[in-house]
Every structure is written in structure tokens, then in C-alpha cells.
Chain A
Amino acid sequence: MTDASSARPGGAMVEFDGVGLRYGPDAEVLSDISFNLQPGSFYFLTGASGAGKTSLLKMLYLAQRPSRGIVRLFGEDLVAMPRHRLPGFRRRIGVVFQDFRLIPHLSARDNIALPLRIAGVSEEDLSGPVGEMLSWIGLGDRADARPATLSGGEQQRVAIARAVIARPQLLVADEPTGNVDPEMAMRLLGLFEALNRLGTTVVVATHDIHLISRIENAQMMRLEKGRLSDPTGALRYPPANRA
């Protein structure tokens, strides 16, 4: 597999060009979406409820193909990509769902280990990182607990641990702090920031304006009724380095 970010130095990790999305025959919920995400950057995606944040992220983490326009990920065109090549790309993306989506009959440890197991990492090789991750999120002593027996915040931490365990190049989080108190929200955001410093591109969708001000150098993307506005000018398309 070609790693496009290295194949094309300075290239964007994600490129959306004139993307539109409609569900069924209804009007478009997203229109004329164009932006670039640079490797190693931190992005916030804001917008009112129903503006289309989740819909945009779904295209980003390959759960949804656009109805029109061009989507390129790691330099490859996703619209024309055959289905069987998608898993390889998904393994390079970590996703935190707003509703966690933990597998209910698996322990916290097994939920976190899932991406590594799917990627074929051996049990010896994954037990170390999974154990470390469990203690890092403060759940070392709840490793064998089922999600239903964990508190909301604990579940959220497990969901985030699962999203980052395989060291994704792109981390997508849909309102990851929606269900926790402000203090926990800040701690989780610190976790994303730490990952971002290690080189992961991070996209966080949130309503929480206070959160955004806490991250230095974060870029803003704002959705209004299905259209993207660009308050910081970071998403200019075509990007400055290609103009």
C-alpha cells in the first residue's frame, strides 16, 4: 500500500472538494464542502445541532460515501475505491463515537484490544500496550468489567482508548465530551492533545465553545446548515501550498 503522505511531501491528509451529501431523495444535508486537513494538525468542527457534523465525520471515517464531489484520504480517491480496499484505510483511522458503541459482552480490556486483534497483532504483542493504555486512562483495576458496569465517563474513556490503541494517523471524535462533566472533558481533551503531539491528525466535533479555546493552534471548521464556513482561514481551498 502506498503511503500517500510520504509519497507526496507536504500533501494534505484529507481533501474534500465540492462534496455534497444527500440521504435518499431528500435535499442535500451537506453542500459544496471543500477543505484540506494537514498532517499533524488539530481541528475542531462546530455547528448547531442538525448542521451536519456527524454526516461530515461519517464520510471522513469511511462509513458513508459522498453523493457528489471528491474525497481523498492519504492521497487516494475514496469515491472510486473498491469496497475491499476500505478496511486497510479504516485501520489507519481511529473513531470515537458519540454513543461509545462498546461491544457489550466484551470486557474493557477486550474492547480496547479489538483494533489490534482485527489487525492481526498477536496476543503477546498486544497485552503490553493494552495494559498500559488501561492504566493510562485510570481503569487498570476495571480491566475485566463489562461496559454496562462502568460509569458513563469510564465508558467514554474505554471508547477513546479503543480509538487510539492502534496509533491511528487520523483520529475522528464525534462529541467525545458530550456526556461528561467539564473536568473530565478537559482530561479527555488533554489525551487528544498528547496524541496530536505524537503526530496524529485530530478532528473533534463539539458544541462546546469553551473546549475549543483550551487547545493552542487548533483550527476551526464551522458548519451552518450544511455549508462550511472558514473562520480561521486554515481550510482555504485550494490550499496555499498548491496555489
Chain B
Amino acid sequence: MIIPRVPVQHRRLLPDRRLSGPTPWVIAILMMLTLLAAAAGVGLARSANAIGAAIAGRVTVQIVTANPVTRAEQAAALRRAAAAQPFVLSARSVEPEELQATLGQWFGAAEGDDPVLKSLPLPALVDIDFVGEDRTDPMRQLEALVAREAPGARIIPHAEWLGPVARLIRSLAWIAGGMVVLMTLASAAVVIMTARAALATHFPTIEMLHMIGATDRQITRLFQRRIAIDTAYGIALGTVVAAAILLLIGLQWSGVTAGLAATASLGPAGWALLLALPLLAIALAALTARQTLLAALKKIL
């Protein structure tokens, strides 16, 4: 159906010049770009979702009480009280060492034994994950809890500062998806032009075949087979190049940061989509060629 079976003797009706025109090469380039855009789209969408899921129900309570002993006590009490609430999934005190290590990266003393760093009055932090993603109700209850256990502490919802980043990444994913659609349309246009050119080139043969009783189906299969094979070559070439590029990027990406790389990987569904795209493209090309040819043949008696 996609590459129709045509008897060997019939194939000779079209002179054999495979990969002659620019079509396979244009299709190869479009296929490569389509796959790269699709991979980017899937990767970006997945990292946007991962960030979104990670931040949606998470807040950090920042306790800035001056007395370090009281501060630690408040943090411990808040963590215990929060953990006991039904709307809290988990509550965790951020250890001072953890904070110092993080800050150390900024101050250039990663070991955390820098005296300046040690003398800094660091706030006590408690990370709280809500049950579910709806923040409004738990927020009110948490505010009451904080007012009781650690008056004056600030509640910082993560979505407030990471949200715009997630939204930006999601927009980029949509743009990539749009590019996939546009390039698919361009590929279809190339196939239509190829089919029309083939018809024009071989018009005398087609007319002759018509006159001796060939059906539209017989003639269409002949051309559809040729165009499907030509585009299949282009699609295969474009896929191989895109796969090589993606593997290379994947290798480099995993070397950047372990945390981000995990969120940006394509996942099984993403890889399945990328594998399906070339097959869909071949089917689309064959179908487009077929419809173009049938429509053109209908104009001849």
C-alpha cells in the first residue's frame, strides 16, 4: 500500500533513474530538521513538566530569628508540627552544613571551613511539600502554623520564582512542535511538486497507457512506487543524520549537569515518537503522492 507492489515488467514503463532529482536530498534535510525539532520539543516539554511537578506544591520557610539557639529550636518545632499535618506530604530541615556548602560555591570555599562563611548568620530553612498541587488552602493553614511556631518567618513558594522558567521552557517546546508541523507541511509540498513534475515529464507515456486501457490505479501505483522509494531514501538519510546529532548532543548533555540532564532526557515515549516520525513521514509521502496523482489523472478522460 505504501510502496505498492508493481510487476517488474511494469516498472520499466518509467525510465530507471533513481535518486536523480533533488527530491530525496530535500526530503533528507527536512526530515533531519523535523526530527531535531521534535527531539527538542519533547525534551523541553519533559523538563518543563518535571520542573512544574517539582515546584508546584513546594514551599520553603525561612526563619530569620536573631538568636541562633531559638532559631534552631523554632525550625525543629516547625518541622515536627508541619510533618504531623494531613496536608503536608513531607517536611525537612535544611541542615546548616548544606546551606554552607551551597553558599561556599558562591564564596569560593566549597569545603565549608571558611571562617568568614562560618561566622555568617544563616537563616534556618524548612522545605515543605504539600499533598497535591493546589496551594491556596494548605498555604493558609501553613501560615497559621508558622505564626504559632516561628513568628516572623517568611514562606517562599517555589512556583513563584521557578514558574516563569517553566513557562518559558514550555513556550519553547510549543515553538518546536510548531516547527515540526510546518516542516511536515513543507515535506508534503515537496512530494506534491515531485508527483506533478513526474506526471508532466511522463505525460506522453501516461496518455498512451490510458489509451490502451490502463486504469488510474495501475498508473498511480507505478508513480507512487517510484516517489515512495525516492522519499524513503531521503527519509532514511535524514533520520540517520538526525540520530547521530541527537546521540552526540545526548553525550555532551549528560556531561553538563546530572540533575538537569535527567529532566531533559527524551523518555521512552519521546524515543518512540522520534522512531515513529520517519515511518509516518514515509506513509504521508506515499499518501500525498497517491492523492496528487489520482487528482491529476481525473483531469484526463
Taking Cβ atoms with an 8 Å cutoff, the residues of A that contact B are 61-65, 83-84, 86-91, 95, 101, 103, 105-106, 110, 113-115, 117-119, 123, 162
Chain A nearest CB from B11 CB (Å) reads 11
Contacts of B208 in A (CB 8 A): 101, 103, 114
Taking Cβ atoms with an 8 Å cutoff, the residues of B that contact A are 7, 9-10, 12-13, 15, 204-205, 207-216, 218, 298, 301
| Cross-chain contact B12 with A110 (CB below 8 angstroms) | yes
| Cross-chain contact B204 with A117 (CB below 8 angstroms) | no
| Cross-chain contact A119 with B12 (CB below 8 angstroms) | no
Given A86-B301, A87-B210, A90-B213: 7 more A-B contacts, CB < 8 Å? A89-B213, A90-B212, A103-B204, A110-B12, A113-B9, A114-B212, A118-B213
Q: List 5 A-B contacts (CB under 8 A).
A: A63-B301, A87-B214, A101-B204, A103-B208, A119-B213
> A123 and B298 in contact (CB under 8 A), knowing A91-B213, A101-B208, A103-B208?
no
Interface of A is mostly: helix
A191 to B181, CA, bound (A): 61
Which of A63, A65, A113, A117 is B211 in contact with, Cβ under 8 Å?
A63
A110 to B13, CA, bound (A): 9
A106 to B9, CA, bound (A): 10
A95 to B211, CA, bound (A): 8
A200 to B188, CA, bound (A): 48
Chain B nearest CB from A239 CB (Å) reads 28
| Cross-chain contact B205 with A62 (CB below 8 angstroms) | no
A114 to B204, CA, bound (A): 14
> A103 and B13 in contact (CB under 8 A), knowing A84-B215, A90-B213?
yes
Nearest B residue to A115 by beta-carbon distance?
A: B212
| Cross-chain contact B218 with A118 (CB below 8 angstroms) | yes
Which of A62, A87, A91, A106 is B13 in contact with, Cβ under 8 Å?
A106
| Cross-chain contact A88 with B213 (CB below 8 angstroms) | yes
Chain A nearest CB from B157 CB (Å) reads 68
A186 to B207, CA, bound (A): 29
Nearest A residue to B8 by beta-carbon distance?
A: A123
Contacts of A110 in B (CB 8 A): 9, 12
Which of A61, A95, A115, A117 is B9 in contact with, Cβ under 8 Å?
A117
Contacts of A62 in B (CB 8 A): 301
Which of B15, B209, B212, B216 is A105 in contact with, Cβ under 8 Å?
B15
Contacts of B209 in A (CB 8 A): 114, 118
Contacts of B210 in A (CB 8 A): 87, 90
Chain A nearest CB from B206 CB (Å) reads 10
Chain B nearest CB from A22 CB (Å) reads 15
A62 to B211, CA, bound (A): 8
| Cross-chain contact A87 with B301 (CB below 8 angstroms) | no
Nearest B residue to A111 by beta-carbon distance?
A: B208
Which of B204, B216, B301 is A64 in contact with, Cβ under 8 Å?
B301
Nearest B residue to A165 by beta-carbon distance?
A: B212
A162 to B216, CA, bound (A): 21
| Cross-chain contact B214 with A123 (CB below 8 angstroms) | no
| Cross-chain contact A118 with B212 (CB below 8 angstroms) | yes
| Cross-chain contact B214 with A118 (CB below 8 angstroms) | yes
| Cross-chain contact B205 with A103 (CB below 8 angstroms) | yes
A123 to B298, CA, bound (A): 30
Question: In this complex, which of B12, B205, B212, B301 has the most chain A Cβ atoms within 10 angstroms of its Cβ?
Answer: B212
Contacts of B7 in A (CB 8 A): 117
> A115 and B213 in contact (CB under 8 A), knowing A64-B301, A86-B301?
yes
> A106 and B12 in contact (CB under 8 A), knowing A63-B301, A65-B301?
yes
Contacts of B207 in A (CB 8 A): 101
